[in-house]
Amino acid sequence: MAWALFSPSLNLSLPHTTKTNFNRTQWFTTKTSRAATTRRTTSIRANAADQKQPKDKDEDTTSGFSPFAFVTDNPSSREAIQLPESPAEDGNVGEMLYRIEDKGKEYGSYIKSGEFIWFVRETGSAESRRGTIVFLHGAPTQSYSYRVVMSEMSDYGFHCFAPDWIGFGFSDKPQPGYGFDYTEKEFHEEFDKLLDVLGVKSPFFLVVQGFLVGSFGLTWALKNPSKILKLAILNSPLTVSSPIPGLFQKLRIPLYGEFTCQNAIMAERFIEAGSPYVLKLEKADVYRLPYLSSGGPGFALLEAARKVNFRDILSQIAEGFASGRWDKPILLVWGISDKYLPQSIAEEFQEGNPTAIKLKLIEGAGHMPQEDWPEKVIEALRVYF
């Protein structure tokens, strides 16, 4: 009933349809897009006014943490807090979609696998001498976050794939009840099919990051240890003590969740809330695009968040990768400025299997180190793999 209430343009008169994507929700995204830009400009001005200018090279510097220094020193986030050249968006959804609809699809193509179409980024080739790396993103983001890392890793001789999970990014967003219900089991089954279609040969290197579908990537690894050569985990919930962000808690509230999932700026705000940086507008556009162009990604996230048992999943992960149950090498690449998951989560997880798990801390990076500071992630993965 809630689907009909909050998606008035949804056509429920096609019982013979096996799969459908959701229609636009322009009334909500128009309002949130205008408000987002206003808040972004106000916040940036306030932050910039509060920051001190960097010292000259000849002056003495302290060893304390300086968020502004990281912004200016980080090649991936330099100018991230600078004011945009253009004024606030006019809020016209059609014009915004036209401006950004072709953004963010670097290295990507659409792949038919089973009943669904995945959007998959690929760099390198099957003849790459050092093997294959598969990168899996978390919710509510997309594979776009790995674009820099996978591009550089292919230069080091790896064949790289980074898919958008079903329901996320530019992949299909099937309506629950029409062939996909957003359960852990179904995500695993469709991922297995995709690996076959892509011709990924086992064992391969696996990189996982993030909440919800990121956790499903880790439970898939636990069920398929023979397919994994080495595992790298970027900031992800790994223990039963891992906090669950407010976004996922809100999504589980009846009615309130339906409104929350249709917030077009949800993904970019989630990323910024877990990071020491503000996304540049060109990056925010890409994370916003799926939620702006259709109601499907929001409802897919809503369904997945309500189907998952977070405590059970985290218990599986903590116990499954513990000593005596997992012996493959694991590298934790951890952004220490993560506002969602403190460094203590990584340390607690490492204590469960100190022989197999190595911890690499990334200073100046937050919840998505592959977005915040990809150069340091690349170096860590290059040495590890």
**How many domains are there within the chain?**
1
Domain extent, residue 243, equals 103-384
The reply to whether 227 falls in a domain is: yes
Residue 101 has pLDDT above 80, yes or no: no
Residue 68 lies in a domain: no
Give the least confident one: 16-20, 75-79, 286-290. 16-20
Q: Is residue 9 a part of any domain in this protein? A: no
pLDDT at 2 over 80: no
Task: For residue range 302-315, list pLDDT tens digits in order.
Answer: 999 999 999 999 99
| Cα 362 from Cα 346, distance rounded (Å) | 12
The CATH number that applies at residue 116 is 3.40.50.1820
349 vs 145: CA distance, rounded Å = 24
Give percent of the chain above pLDDT 70: 74
In a domain, 324, yes or no: yes
Residue 14 placed within a domain:
no
For residues 359 and 347, give the distance between their C-alpha atoms in angstroms, rounded to a whole number.
Answer: 8
| Whether 29 contacts 291, CB under 8 Å | yes
Residue 50, pLDDT > 70, answer: no
Buried b (16+ CB within 10 A) or exposed e, 29-62: bbebbbebbeebeeebeeeeeeeeeeeeeeeeee
C-alpha 362/C-alpha 366 separation (Å) is: 8
Q: Is residue 83, in this structure, part of any structural domain at all?
A: no
In a domain, 358, yes or no: yes
pLDDT number for residue 293: 86
Q: What is the pTM of this model?
A: 0.78
**Torsions phi, psi of 116, nearest 5?**
-125, 160
Q: pLDDT digits over 33-44, tens only?
A: 444 444 444 444
Q: Which of 385, 297, 369 is nearest to 77 (CA)?
A: 369
Tell me if 362 is assigned to some domain. yes
